[in-house]
Amino acid sequence: MFQRIIQFSIKNKLAVGVFTLALIVWGIWSLTQLPFDSTPDITNNQVQVITQAPSLGAQEVEQFITTPVEMALANIPKVKERRSISRSGLSVITLVFDDNADTYWAREQVNQMLKEAEEQLPQGKASVNLGPIATGLGEIYHYTIRPKKGYEDKYTLTDLRTMQDWIVRKQLSGTPGVAEVSGWGGFVKQYEVAVDADRLNSFGLTVNDIYSALENGNENTGGSYIEKKQQSVFHPRYRSGKVLG
């Protein structure tokens, strides 16, 4: 076999030379088209379904969230592997698709099946979301928000976190090539109602009354007016800072 190849090469020097030159040209062209990356993303083609249920334990998350969602996603085509993790208040289901499956097509298939699965989940206790179109190896930029020198006492950690969530994050979102902007650290601004049980009992109220008062006092409703010729008549009925329409 090798002797025949050698004899053919000797007898057809021109053809072998042209073929070798073409092979070199093709190799150089392929090298220029090859994408280079210092830290290539070797993660497989996957879609993650993340469900948060703060009031449920690990066993309840597995029984009432992970299992129903996995059953709903079992018949999606082009799925090579399905795995899940159930923790206290958290469920993560990972679907690994074929390499030739389009990422957006795979996410659309998962999203359609989740609409059916949400009907079986505990109402008001679980929040289902798809993971971002990125992996841990896709994190390429980290930044820190800190006050300028001399203004350290003007901004608290809560103020810096609020700037991150409502100013910086909004401006970075939608940038081409950015899949998600995540923030951590600092303190998320929140309001807390501390209930004094003794005073509550003295007024003959319960915790449910507190919940109802907070909901009624912080509810927004659409207000409107009636135009008649050159006059505008607003709705006159108000209660607990809410316009009744």
Q: What is the pTM of this model?
A: 0.57
pLDDT at residue number 38: 65
Residue 95 confidence (pLDDT) above 90: yes
Average predicted confidence (pLDDT) for the chain: 83
Residue 43 confidence (pLDDT) above 70: yes
Indicate the angle between helix axes 13-33 and 2-11, nearest 10 degrees.
Answer: 100
Q: Stretch 120-137: mean pLDDT, rounded?
A: 80
Residue of 215, 156, 213 lying closest to 188 (CA atoms)? 156
Q: Helix, strand, or coil here: 111?
A: helix
Q: Which is higher by pLDDT, 191 or 28?
A: 28
Q: How many contiguous H segments (helices) and E segments (strands) does the chain have?
A: 9, 8
Q: For the segment 55-88, what is each residue's pLDDT rounded down to a tens digit?
A: 888 898 899 899 989 988 888 999 999 999 999 8
